[in-house]
Amino acid sequence: MIALHAVEKAAISAPHWIAHRLMGTFLDIRPETPADRDEIHRLTTAAFAPMPFSDGNEADCINQLRADGDLTLSLVAVDEGVLLGHIAFSPVQLNGSFDGWYGLGPVSVWPHLQRKGIGKALIEHGLGLVRARSARGCILIGDPAYYLRFGFIGDGRISYRGLPENVVQWLAFGNGRPAGILTFSPGLE
Ligand SMILES: CC(C)(COP(=O)(O)OP(=O)(O)OC[C@H]1O[C@@H](n2cnc3c(N)ncnc32)[C@H](O)[C@@H]1OP(=O)(O)O)[C@@H](O)C(=O)NCCC(=O)NCCS
């Protein structure tokens, strides 16, 4: 767990900014600005490069989402002006229509900074902001061993390109349940 300092608790009340205490320092999580874009591309490329499932296009996908107006939420984790991590959220369709569900990802942390809680902080804060937009929930393709801890479930309610059901995962913010064939925004397809 990330312990919250009193100053950080005050920061949480700000709508688009939060500070987590991490590694003995403050970790700011805020929306991207145009000045972050090149570094987000470098970070995403570096984070996915070692991953066997990567097609090497994740960083370009973020640029495409942005260009298409589909980057619903793009958050960066920053420490003393240095970008440490990034997460993107974009609308998805189920059976060909948008019904309040958002795709989580790509999410990236620099390889040498992984396993320090930065990814968790980005995911939890991002989910909170997406939820605040009256979203029904989030959907992602990912390793269940990681996303189970956030409450994601892969139970076959959603299908995506013949992938195993446990990697096509969803998290509902209310009582709604997703079902059907998943399509991501064009930038991710
Ligand atoms: C996935 C990622 C964003 C997580 O960020 P992070 O800051 O390293 O994660 P955290 O420190 O919050 O969490 C660490 C925990 O997640 C686990 N974990 C990290 N990446 C994992 C993965 N790909 N699969 C399964 N578990 C993973 C670690 O084993 C650790 O588990 P533990 O707490 O039981 O020891 C980061 O590892 C990353 O950038 N990976 C490369 C890009 C990627 O795979 N993105 C996700 C695609 S679905």
pLDDT digits (tens, 9 = 90+) for 100-146: 999 999 999 999 999 999 999 999 999 999 999 999 999 999 999 99
| Residue bearing the CA closest to ligand 1, atom 26 | 146
* Nearest-angstrom CA–CA distance, 56 and 48: 7
What percent of the chain is modeled with pLDDT above 70? 86
Domain assignment present for residue 115? The answer is yes
Catalogue the E-assigned strands of 8-152: 18-22, 25-31, 73-79, 82-94, 101-109, 137-141
Backbone angles phi, psi at 176, to 5 degrees: -65, 145
Q: What are 49's two structure tokens? A: 């490069």
For the whole prediction, is pTM greater than 0.85? Answer: yes
Domain assignment present for residue 68? The answer is yes
User: Domain holding 61: CATH number?
Assistant: 3.40.630.30
Residues with CB under 6 A from ligand 1: 47-48, 51, 105, 107-109, 114-120, 142-143, 145-146
Domain assignment present for residue 159? The answer is yes
For 172, the domain range is 6-188
